[in-house]
Structure 1
Amino acid sequence: MKRKALRRFTGITINFFQEETIMNIAVLGAWHVHTMEYSTALQKNPDSTLCCLWDSDPERGAQMAEKLGVPFQPDLDAVLSDPSIEGVSVTTATSEHPQVLMAAAKAGKHIFTEKVLAFTNEEAEEIAKTVKESGIIFTISYPHKTRPTLKAAKEILESGKLGQVTYARVRNVHNGSTAGWLPPHFYNAAETGGGAMMDLGAHPMYTLHWLMGEPKSVVSMFTTVTGKPVEDNAVSVLEFENGALGVSETGFVSTGLPYVLELSGTKGSLMVHNDLLEYSSEETEGKLVKLETLPEPDPMPIDAWIAALGGKGTAPNGIDEAVALTRLMVGAYESYRTGAKNVF
């Protein structure tokens, strides 16, 4: 959608109009806890407008639409056939992703989606095929990759200062189960595909893949502390080709110190915690020192996606990265179910 905008500058008004591209975006799904966050981001972004919201549960959808101040559209086909709608933000239950994502792609709608992509590798590959054939711009939400500390950690790793990296650990937790603030449907495996690892554990999983590359196998141990029908405490250990190990730790039952990243190598190590990065290497004479200057954060994935729709930059976290996360999750859960190492 294009609109004419009067440009004003400090102290003067320029008497001409400049054409701007404003993306008309619909929200598909009010199921996810991040629906409000992503939707308000679209409303605040000067390059997008939020036009309507659809949900498979009319009551839930109408309530969320009212909170956002947009119309509720009960007919998904009506949303996807509307030529004025250029993109969709998908925050449905994960179980609805294959149907909704493929329908949106076939309708030519650009897609921003919450993770994870799908429950199975077969579903993920089918979605990917449809997305690639459609030519639409696709982004999955991997927000941790925008963080200054994680960007700096990747730069240090790639600089060779740590030598050959032999161990990586990412811990990402909160107290959603013990404190009781996660919605009940987050424990419904039919909708979520799993518990803490599938949800919060996605962040350590895609971070390990981003930093370490493709793993060769995975072993998992999941438990329940609060008696929920899905795991609320979980660890998966990834094995990489060079002998390195990557540990993905997550849970809904921990309070305080919600995030830790460690990288250890043959020449040095680093740790990220409390928005700080400390590292040791040959240049620090083996002493642990704080990295004083961090890079600027990248735009959040939903904002970068909107920018890409307007021809400004490249959309992050594309469909191949989305498929890769599903592959890791399938392996992690298969290992837990069988009690054995799962080889990718």
Structure 2
Amino acid sequence: MIRVAVCSYWHVHAEEYTDFILHHPDTELVGIWDEDAKRGERYAGRYHVPYYPILDDMLLREDIDAIVVVAPTSLHEDIMVKAAEAGKHIFTEKVLALTSAEAERIVNAVEANGVVLNVALRKLYERDIVTLRRIVEEGSIGDVSLVRVRMAHNGALAGWLPEHFYNRAECGGGAMIDLGCHPMYITRALLGMPETVTASYGYVTGKEVEDNAVALLQYTGGAIGIAETGFVTGQSPFMIEIHGARGSIMYGMPDEQIRIRLNEGDGEWNIVPFDEPIPNMFEQWVGHVQCREVSMDNVKMALDLTKLMEAANEAAVSGKAVAVNVM
């Protein structure tokens, strides 16, 4: 049994991740720390576990094996470096950190102390993206020249996002670094790392951070990736377009099916069956902890995602293309 403590209920996914812990046969919720003491005590009472007011004290406990980090992104480095040094395995909400330097320090601490880190890049393990990646890797549509991924909701307009999601100091940005992570790492998974990133951010509701955003990823050889997101489009579906030299793939509207049309085919959009599902992000982390194996693909993708977010934020401010360091 893996004994897990939750670090903060700041993020909207914190209760979902707690449910993962409670319902997995190999994990047990054993404690809570929160930077907001009242919130932490409230959740500790709800789940009938101890609340630890001091993070360092909780991390030193031998009856805690791992932590789930759902704290402000600005606290990620401090929490995870301390956890790794205390020998605790880590499952964390994306992004890994606000900057590449912080992310590298986290990964270095994880590697130095032999603990398992998984970042919640949930879409990578869902059947739609698993199937799309396989089709692209098989080469059915030839060399890919364009990928467009859109994921958005109306959280800012409808008011259901917590107000602290618009706090730049805590979040590092707005729609792009939160919801836009998914289009960004999906584009990265399908096309690899780009040479440069440009970005345009909109402020429809007048918040401190952007609520409407697009990033353009430019690749050697002319390929382009487009990552779109926002908090102001309630009817915007999750959509993916992939265009290659020999055909195109569409996913999303109107019925969440994958369709492919080849240049030399019958001219029809043909539905592609989904691949078999694979374990979700939390189940994979549990398996890695049990085997003491680090998912380097997940860690590398998380590091790349932080680099891309850092570049997009810089590009949105400067209005210029920002080179991405892929080392």
What range is the shorter-chain TM-score in? over 0.9
Higher mean C-alpha deviation, range 134-143 or range 298-307: 298-307
Match of 1:336 in 2: 316
**1:318 aligned to 289, 298, 301, which one?**
298
Matches within 5 A, 1:25-174: 25-174=4-153
Match of 1:275 in 2: 256
**2:242 aligned to 258, 263, 277, which one?**
263
1:267/1:282 contact within 8 Å kept: yes
Letter of the 1:182 counterpart? L
TM normalised by structure 1 equals: 0.90
Higher mean C-alpha deviation, range 147-156 or range 30-39: 147-156
Q: How many corresponding residue pairs?
A: 322
Whole-Å separation in 1 of the counterparts to 2:49 and 2:250: 43
Segments of structure 1 that go 5 or more residues without pairing to the other structure are 1-21
Please state whether the residue corresponding to 2:309 is helix, strand or coil. Answer: helix
Stretches of 4+ aligned residues off by more than 6 angstroms: none
2:126/2:280 contact within 8 Å kept: no
TM normalised by structure 2 equals: 0.95
Deviations 1:124-160 (A, max 9, x none): 1111211111111110001111221211111111111
1:220/1:333 contact within 8 Å kept: yes
Higher Cα radius of gyration: 1
Whole-Å separation in 2 of the counterparts to 1:116 and 1:237: 19
**1:309 aligned to 266, 289, 308, which one?**
289
Please state whether the residue corresponding to 1:310 is helix, strand or coil. Answer: helix
Higher mean C-alpha deviation, range 295-304 or range 179-188: 295-304
Match of 1:212 in 2: 191
Deviations 1:304-328 (A, max 9, x none): 1012212298647533222111100
Larger fraction in strand: 1
Whole-Å separation in 2 of the counterparts to 1:286 and 1:312: 49
Please state whether the residue corresponding to 1:222 is helix, strand or coil. Answer: strand
Please state whether the residue corresponding to 2:56 is helix, strand or coil. Answer: helix
The answer as to 2:250 corresponding to 1:237 is: no
Task: Give the superposition deviation at 1:229.
Answer: 1.0
Q: State the identity %.
A: 39
Match of 1:202 in 2: 181
In structure 2, do the counterparts of structure 1 residues 198 and 183 end up closer, same or farther at CA, with 3 Å as the change threshold?
same
Segments of structure 2 that go 5 or more residues without pairing to the other structure are none
